[in-house]
């Protein structure tokens, strides 16, 4: 029996009892309070010890499912600027969510390495279902780090901060690591919605807490009203990332509710969807709104194709209503006015200049790129990233980075669609939802970037994909998918 089959036939714990969940939530709350006190006192040592204790407990109690819980912490605290740590007179741009993620993934990886060293090769594998995502991600990561090393020791060494570039790269690398760990979780497909809803709730609570109580953003909107310059960003410095993450959760939850078999319509999930939609509107993020509209249109086609015509009609009616409402959002309305008046450059909000500078950088270093997150250093802070996913990959690693990124995009879309045709109806609904989200991303990748520079979005997206792959693996383990779909991995 092969190692792969040994892993697939090994019983895997896939969920928590209510008592366990309550206990772990209580522990998380206490640790979060302790971390808040530690950070307020600027004690990195106390914060590190608290996270190490939590990580050890989670890993040895829950194994791969510990990543699910730490993702919840990450969703609410990943970009909370009130959680930045001051150490040695310098600010470390790592939040409580970042530290928790690093601690748990690090200890889990150490546990896996120890088990493998002891000859227990059944504790970890690279699932065949995950390889189409991990291989191009791995190649992209390798190209990125080689370009960063070249920039740090080559002709750009005097113009960039090499240590900061590597730190940013390590931040990006969390996404692929979380994907492969969660692909080993083998969670039950029926629990996918519960986990995503939990992530979305933590994200929403973090947003509301900061926007309402700390930054007073919501209060300002209520008293002054929404205008083109009033964009609520909550826990994020960039309202575009805030809006895109809200769209990520919104589309997945709504699509799963509409497409999952015999799913009981949960009013709480729909209330959460409505709250996420409100968050998207308040960010006034044009790219997030475009992502949402594209995702909804694609979802409508899936519903029609799968004979859910009533749901598709309702969805498209809501889409039409949404477009009417969107036109009344000040920033969107101003963009349309600029385009109609021939001032397309104004409508692009400076992106034409950003693209011009980015192309100059690419033409200067077409083979090697300039390394990870060095654009701001090379342009004296005039631009931070290329505002285009494909350009950003070329800026970082030249032609090789661009080719690796294109490969990642093509493979991701291809296999999300392929897995959306699985025999298990719940798995089919999961991957349909993810494909709809990805379709929206493909359009906005032309004016922004999520998978390279928006670290929180990237980690959450790849984490959810890993969770979905774990559910697919579980379905195949239990024999729900009786046979591989035509053109599956086993027939390649």
Task: Give the model's confidence band at 462: pLDDT under 50 very low, under 70 low, under 90 confident, else very high.
Answer: very high
Write down the domain spans for the chain.
Answer: 1-125, 126-352+355-491
Enter the tokens of residue 318.
Answer: 């809501």
Enter the tokens of residue 52.
Answer: 């190490």
Per-residue pLDDT reduced to its tens digit, 34-81? 555 555 555 555 556 666 666 777 677 677 777 887 787 777 777 654
- Inter-residue contact 151 to 371 (CB < 8 Å): yes
Answer whether residue 321 shows pLDDT above 70. Answer: no
Taking the C-alpha atoms of residue 174 and residue 142, their distance in angstroms, rounded to an integer, is 14
Q: What DSSP character marks residue 1?
A: -
Answer whether residue 335 shows pLDDT above 70. Answer: no
Q: Which of 93-102, 112-121, 257-266, 343-352 has the lowest mean pLDDT?
A: 343-352
Helix 286-305 and helix 239-259, axial crossing angle in degrees, nearest 10: 10
Helix 239-259 and helix 425-444, axial crossing angle in degrees, nearest 10: 150
Taking the C-alpha atoms of residue 476 and residue 81, their distance in angstroms, rounded to an integer, is 42
According to DSSP, the residues that pair with 87 across neighbouring strands are 90
Q: Would you call 374 helix, strand, or coil by DSSP? A: coil
Nearest to 68 by CA among 172, 173, 176, 179: 179
Enter the tokens of residue 70.
Answer: 């730490």
Q: What DSSP character marks residue 93?
A: -
Taking the C-alpha atoms of residue 427 and residue 424, their distance in angstroms, rounded to an integer, is 5
Q: What average pLDDT is seen over the chain?
A: 75
pLDDT of residue 133: 95
pLDDT of residue 347: 47
DSSP string, 385-435: S-SSHHHHHHHHHHHHHHHHHHHHHHHHHHHHHHHTT-SSHHHHHHHHHHH
- Inter-residue contact 182 to 468 (CB < 8 Å): no
DSSP string, 264-318: PP-HHHHHHHHHHHHHHHHHT-HHHHHHHHHHHHHHHHHHHHTT-HHHHHHHHHH
C-beta contacts of 46-52 below 8 A and 24+ residues apart = 47/85, 47/96, 47/99, 48/99, 48/103, 51/99, 51/100, 51/103, 52/103, 52/107
Taking the C-alpha atoms of residue 115 and residue 421, their distance in angstroms, rounded to an integer, is 35
Per-residue pLDDT reduced to its tens digit, 243-263? 889 999 999 998 888 887 665
Helix 66-77 and helix 44-62, axial crossing angle in degrees, nearest 10: 140
pLDDT of residue 131: 92
Contacts of 478 (CB under 8 A, 6+ apart): none
Per-residue pLDDT reduced to its tens digit, 109-142? 888 888 888 877 777 888 888 999 999 999 999 9
Answer whether residue 304 shows pLDDT above 90. Answer: no
Taking the C-alpha atoms of residue 18 and residue 194, their distance in angstroms, rounded to an integer, is 13
Per-residue pLDDT reduced to its tens digit, 70-94? 787 777 777 654 445 555 555 556 6
Q: 198 exposed, middle or buried (CB, 10 Å; 0-12, 13-18, 19+)? A: middle
Taking the C-alpha atoms of residue 348 and residue 483, their distance in angstroms, rounded to an integer, is 49
């Amino acid at each position: 029996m092969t190692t792969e089959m040994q892993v697939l036939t090994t019983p895997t714990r896939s969920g928590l009892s209510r008592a366990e969940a309550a206990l772990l939530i209580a522990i998380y709350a206490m640790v979060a309070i302790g971390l808040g006190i530690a950070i307020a006192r600027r004690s990195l040592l106390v914060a590190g010890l608290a996270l190490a204790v939590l990580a050890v407990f989670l890993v040895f109690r829950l194994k791969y499912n510990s990543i699910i819980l730490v993702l919840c912490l990450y969703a609410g605290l990943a970009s909370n600027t009130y959680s930045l740590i001051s150490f040695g007179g310098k600010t470390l741009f790592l939040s409580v969510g970042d530290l928790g993620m690093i601690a748990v993934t690090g200890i889990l990886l150490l546990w896996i390495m120890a088990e493998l060293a002891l000859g227990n090769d059944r504790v970890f594998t690279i699932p065949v279902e995950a390889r189409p995502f991990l291989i191009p991600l791995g190649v992209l990561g390798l190209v990125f780090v080689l370009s960063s090393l070249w920039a740090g020791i080559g002709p750009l060494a005097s113009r960039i901060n090499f240590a900061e570039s590597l730190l940013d790269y390590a931040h990006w690398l969390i996404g692929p690591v979380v994907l492969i760990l969660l692909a080993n979780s083998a969670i039950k497909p029926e629990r996918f919605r519960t986990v995503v809803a939990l992530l979305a709730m933590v994200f929403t609570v973090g947003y509301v807490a900061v926007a309402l109580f700390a930054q007073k953003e919501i209060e300002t909107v209520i008293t002054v009203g929404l205008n083109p310059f009033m964009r609520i960003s909550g826990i994020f410095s960039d309202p575009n990332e805030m809006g895109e993450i809200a769209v990520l959760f919104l589309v997945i939850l709504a699509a799963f509710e509409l497409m999952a078999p015999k799913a009981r319509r949960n009013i709480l999930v729909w209330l959460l969807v409505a709250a996420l939609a409100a968050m998207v509107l308040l960010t006034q993020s044009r790219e997030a709104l475009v992502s949402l509209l594209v995702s909804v249109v694609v979802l409508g086609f899936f519903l029609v194709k799968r004979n859910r015509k009533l749901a598709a009609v309702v969805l498209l009616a809501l889409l039409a209503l949404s477009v009417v409402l969107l036109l009344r959002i000040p920033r969107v309305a101003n963009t349309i006015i600029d385009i109609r008046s021939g001032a397309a450059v104004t409508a692009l909000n400076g992106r034409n200049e950003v693209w011009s500078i980015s192309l100059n950088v690419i033409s200067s270093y077409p083979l090697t790129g300039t390394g990870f997150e060095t654009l701001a250093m090379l342009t004296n802070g005039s631009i931070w990233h290329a505002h285009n996913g494909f350009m950003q990959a070329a800026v970082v690693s030249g032609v090789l980075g661009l080719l690796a990124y294109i490969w990642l995009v093509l493979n991701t879309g291809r296999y999300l669609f392929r897995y959306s045709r699985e025999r298990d109806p719940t798995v089919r609904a999961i991957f349909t939802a993810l494909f709809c989200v990805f379709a929206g991303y493909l359009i906005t990748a032309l004016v922004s970037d999520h998978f390279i520079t928006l670290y929180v979005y990237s980690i959450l997206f790849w984490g959810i994909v890993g969770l979905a792959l774990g559910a697919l693996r579980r379905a195949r383990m239990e024999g729900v998918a009786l046979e591989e779909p035509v053109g599956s991995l086993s027939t390649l």
